[in-house]
Amino acid sequence: MTFLPDPDDELEEGGLLVYSELKLPAKPEPGSGERTRRITTAHTSHGTTVREQNLDVPAAKPIVAEIEYTDASGSHSYGIVTDSVMIGRGGIAYPVDIRIASSPDVSREHARIRRDPKTGSFFLIDLSAFGTTLNGRHVPSGCEKVDGVKRENGAETALARVARIGLADIVFLDFRQVP
């Protein structure tokens, strides 16, 4: 067990975050990669919150799209090889695939890009507080708060083969499908 400071200021004073990863047996299909179960438990004066994720770490797959962007830490390029990519500032309790170094206006989990494996089509889902744009136009929010809990509502916007995604009008990502 290791105790670390809270570098992302996710917890109130006196709060405790327990983060664990457990490697699971590989799927029986050849080339399917590893599986991991990630559990994050946060204890605060408001109560306890538990988040569980089962992640499939894919075997080497071809890049199906690319994202290029510049944030506070410089220029970056990211090759998409999975059917779901989470984008945001991230943090210990908020794992993201594309971590954006920016002001808090970019949410910890700001947006997700989803690929339909059957059609190969891509979709953008806004999960943020300050909005997401697609080619300069705001996309509908893909989540809502119900009883204080953030839940996805199913709203998503189709991505063209080439698109510009804005995160809170601060950071812009250039998306391009690979033929």
What pLDDT digit, counting tens, does each position of 46-105 carry? 777 777 777 665 567 899 999 999 999 999 999 999 999 999 999 888 889 999 999 999
Dump pLDDT digits (tens) for 122-132.
999 999 999 99
Cα–Cα dist 141/128, whole Å: 7
- pLDDT value for 177: 97
In the predicted model, is pLDDT for residue 22 greater than 80?
no
Cα–Cα dist 143/166, whole Å: 17
Cα–Cα dist 91/133, whole Å: 23
Beta-strand ranges (E) seen in the chain are 16-24, 34-44, 47-57, 65-71, 74-80, 84-88, 98-99, 111-115, 122-126, 132-134, 137-138, 143-146, 149-152, 157-159, 162-167, 171-177
Q: Domain 65-177 falls in which CATH fold?
A: Tumour Suppressor Smad4 (2.60.200)
What contacts 24+ positions apart, CB below 8 Å, involve 147-152?
Answer: 152/125, 152/127
Mean pLDDT for all residues in the chain: 85
- Give the dihedral sign, CA 22/27/28/31: negative
Burial class (CB in 10 A: 0-12, 13-18, 19+), 107: buried
If we measure between CA atoms, which residue out of 26, 28, 79, 30 comes closest to residue 56? 26
Cα–Cα dist 37/159, whole Å: 30
- pLDDT value for 94: 87
If we measure between CA atoms, which residue out of 154, 148, 176 comes closest to residue 164? 176
Domain ranges of the chain: 16-57, 65-177
Q: What is the band of 39 on the pLDDT scale with cuts at 50, 70, 90? A: confident
Q: What is the band of 42 on the pLDDT scale with cuts at 50, 70, 90? A: confident
DSSP state of 7: T
In the predicted model, is pLDDT for residue 119 greater than 90?
yes
- pLDDT value for 145: 83
Do residues 179 and 164 lie in contact, with contact meaning Cβ atoms separated by under 8 Å?
Answer: no
